[in-house]
Amino acid sequence: MGMRSNYVNNMIRERCEELQLSDEQLREIMKRLLDNIERGLARDTHAASIVKCFVTYVQDLPNGTERGKFMALDLGGTNFRVLLIELGENMHFDMKSKIFAIPQHIMVGPGKQLFDHIADCLGAFMKEHHIEHECLPLGFTFSFPCVQKGLTKGLLVRWTKGFDCEGVIGQDVVELLEQAISHRNEVTIDVTAILNDTTGTLMSCAWKKHDCRIGLIVGTGSNACYVEKVENAQLFDGDRSKPYVLINTEWGAFGDDGALDFVRTEFDRDIDNNSINPGKQLHEKMISGMYMGELVRLVLVKMTNDKLLFNGQGSDLLFKRGNFFTKYVSEIESDKKGTYASCRQVLEELGLGHATDQDCANVRYVCQVVSTRAAHLASAAVATLINKIQEESVTVGIDGSVYRYHPHFHNLMMDKIATLVTPGLKFDIMLSEDGSGRGAALVAAVAARGHAKTA
């Protein structure tokens, strides 16, 4: 074996070729995505469009003059957070927050139960911080596809990311939240905005960097919002005297009409067939953390069955769905070249203690191929927006566990976006410091700033 053990098996390289996207393929994806976005923005094609490009009614970015105490709720994955945020002079920012779990039975139970749970958590938090008698402006981050009818009215279009609560689709989630809170009769709040985590990410970054025009999430799900000219947002029925409005692309659904079939693999089809929403969110399923570990597992299983890995000896744990966590991908790729400490630890947890160094090199290669594809798909989509916005310099605010914890995601994106943007356009990527919390408070604060002017 000797030195050769660090080389990846050529058969494995061959099998992984279909998971590697060329720049030509990425440019074709960009063309298709742009077409989808334009269809989503236009009045005549919106209803039939896959990428919905919902109008958010957020038209003002933070300018640093926001002051006061604000609350935020953040629901968008398996956890749910309540936050209390104070904004003061000189960018002073104070935040207290608490994470509450959402049990599985609530994620797929009746909607009323979900909102009662949120109201319980909110009440407990406000008591704990002795603000139960104050009526504070609240920003509600609700990270599921919604049609907005105003800053404080959002109708759920569909559940994603493992949620499936009956009785909520088509309903105004702000109203459901307010009802649940008023039933309890303990605390009062003033919901001044509903937004999703992409908007929160953009707002929290724009507070620091005024050229932030895109908010991106690469976490449990994947989605982005961006600043669009009002004249291009044909469905916007708000204040058209202001030049811009934020658009929530809901690009996770891109490809649901077959637009990505030319790059999807048997592994993607397997993920989709076994998901709780088959045929939906196909772009998201190729990128996000909810699926990345499982994609790697499916590739490893196939190669084990073909006797290219582990001498053909798998394990019950490896062969069981959902057992290869996305965090394993980041851990395995964090090992220094030629060393496999994290990789061995993961494989041992999966009952694969018999793996050789050669197996470890191969497993790491599979992880790299899957995570790099995700980064390149996200990059192509971001480059599409940068090219559409056409400002000479744009900051992209990013949040989400995959971007935050994967050791190479940032660099992969910087390199690939640079290849795909129109020459001459400058861009930068910044990690959002707690977008969905701080951002929600900032949307509430900017809305309050607006009230103050009109009052």
d(CA 434, CA 438): 6
Is 307 annotated in the active site?
no
Reduced to 3 DSSP states, what percent helix, strand and coil does the chain have, rounded to the nearest 5?
45, 20, 35
d(CA 294, CA 300): 10
- Which of the following is catalytic: 74, 116, 172, 197? 197
Helix runs in 306-395, H state only: 326-334, 341-349, 357-389
d(CA 296, CA 329): 8
- Cα-based distances in Å from 230 to 10, 151, 283: 52, 16, 27
d(CA 267, CA 253): 18
Helices 173-184, 111-128: crossing angle, 10 deg rounding: 60
The closest alpha carbon to 292, from 402, 216, 403, 398, belongs to 402
The closest alpha carbon to 413, from 214, 227, 197, 232, belongs to 214
- Which of the following is catalytic: 52, 161, 285, 416? 161
Angle at 383 between CA 380 and CA 262, to 5 degrees: 25
Is 242 annotated in the active site?
no
d(CA 446, CA 455): 14
Distance from CA of residue 64 to its chain's centroid?
26
Distance from CA of residue 188 to its chain's centroid?
30
Amino acid 321 reads R
3-class SS at 413? helix
Q: Which residues are catalytic?
A: 161, 197
